[in-house]
Amino acid sequence: MSNRYISVILPVYNAESYIERAVQSILSQTFRDFELICIDDGSSDSSLDILKQFDDPRIRLYTRENRGLIATLNEGLSHARYRYIARMDADDISLPERFEKQLQLMDRYRLGVVGCSYEYIDKADQPVGVRKLSSVPFLNSWLLEFGSSFCHPSVIFDRDILGPNLRYAIECRSYEDYELWLRLRSAGIRMANTPEILFKYRILDSSVSRTMADLQSSGSATVLSKYSKFLTSIDDCHYMLFGRKSGSSTRWALYKNLRLSFLAFRHCGLFRALFVFVYLLR
């Protein structure tokens, strides 16, 4: 079996408005050697019927009762046949050269994870913004102290490099990707993004509920305190992730920035400290 094949994991839940375009964007890739694992997570709309209309031998379709995203992702990993694992979401769009460009970067620098820069689109496929992500592995590693430096549904994993670390923590609902990046960094995995925009990430009106937002912020701070080399306080982690944008007084913010930069200096050295200080001033 060739190790140049990709297993694409596509969870689907009530995505009837977008699933056809998402699947078609994968089938239209310039890199043709892949399997597309579609898992219908108990949809109550016509998503499953739309998926059944595709006639392509590369599609493997599973359906069952609703279990949630993390369980679906881990199930997809268990079904995957190949060394390379790509993520995709049911309401997003992959540009044709996504897989080809990501594998090229992965091979060139022996990376365990490769994402890409991306464009934000609205429900009508209209562009509403762009996010350029770093293609330098150590910068992606350092940026994780300030939040995710990857677009989760745009990444490709190398299972040979990641080994047993390639799994999602079931208890990390709504921040499972951030926990994964931090855990992989802790294991010494090199990760980067392509500088090219190869993905369209859809922003919908249905925002995360307040309960989920609170869970995401508290959970993200907790896992950062677990995996950071210089942050151990939950309060400090929350400030790094969210608090610096809260509009606190200039004097208090400067004190926090200096203290956190000093912690980075003590545990990681001068260059990391300067990076933290400059980034916190943004």
Q: Concatenated DSSP letters for 123-151?
A: TTS-EEEEE-----HHHHHHHGGGS--S-
Shared-domain flag, residues 243 and 197: no
Q: 202, 225, 252 — which closes off a domain?
A: 202
Shared-domain flag, residues 248 and 130: no
User: How many CA atoms lie less than 13 Å away from 136 in the CB half-sphere?
Assistant: 4
Q: What percent of the chain has pLDDT over 70?
A: 95
Shared-domain flag, residues 228 and 173: no
Q: 202, 221, 255 — which closes off a domain?
A: 202
The pLDDT tens digits of the residues spanning 51-66 come to: 999 999 999 999 999 9
Please report whether residue 121 resides in a domain: yes
Which residue bears the tokens 């080809």?
Answer: 100
Which pair of structure tokens corresponds to residue 108? 């060139």
Please report whether residue 177 resides in a domain: yes
Mean pLDDT (the chain, rounded): 94
Count: domains in the chain: 2
Shared-domain flag, residues 73 and 167: yes
196 Cβ contact list (under 8 Å, min separation 6): 97, 101, 116, 117
Give the pLDDT score at 121. Answer: 97
pLDDT at residue 247 greater than cutoff 60: no
The pLDDT tens digits of the residues spanning 117-147 come to: 999 999 999 999 999 999 999 999 999 999 9
Shared-domain flag, residues 189 and 124: yes
Shared-domain flag, residues 94 and 119: yes
Tell me the three state secondary structure of residue 180.
helix
For residue 70, what is the domain's CATH number? 3.90.550.10
Shared-domain flag, residues 167 and 252: no
Distances (CA, A) of 51 to 34, 72, 94, 177, 247: 17, 17, 17, 26, 46
Domain range holding 276?
A: 210-280
The pLDDT tens digits of the residues spanning 68-114 come to: 999 999 999 999 999 999 999 999 999 999 999 999 999 999 999 99
Give the pLDDT score at 214. Answer: 81
Shared-domain flag, residues 52 and 168: yes
Q: How confident is the model at residue 245 (pLDDT cuts 50, 70, 90)?
A: low
Please report whether residue 147 resides in a domain: yes
Please report whether residue 1 resides in a domain: no
Please report whether residue 106 resides in a domain: yes
Shared-domain flag, residues 178 and 223: no
Shared-domain flag, residues 102 and 196: yes
Please report whether residue 91 resides in a domain: yes
Shared-domain flag, residues 176 and 69: yes
The pLDDT tens digits of the residues spanning 140-198 come to: 999 999 999 999 999 999 999 999 999 999 999 999 999 999 999 999 999 999 999 99
Cβ proximity of 180 and 130 under 8 Å: no
Q: How confident is the model at residue 209 (pLDDT cuts 50, 70, 90)?
A: very low
Q: 202, 223, 239 — which closes off a domain?
A: 202
Q: Where are the alpha helices (DSSP H) in 115-269?
A: 137-143, 159-162, 176-186, 210-227, 234-241, 250-268
The pLDDT tens digits of the residues spanning 28-45 come to: 999 999 999 999 999 999
Give the pLDDT score at 4. Answer: 86
Shared-domain flag, residues 164 and 101: yes
Please report whether residue 219 resides in a domain: yes
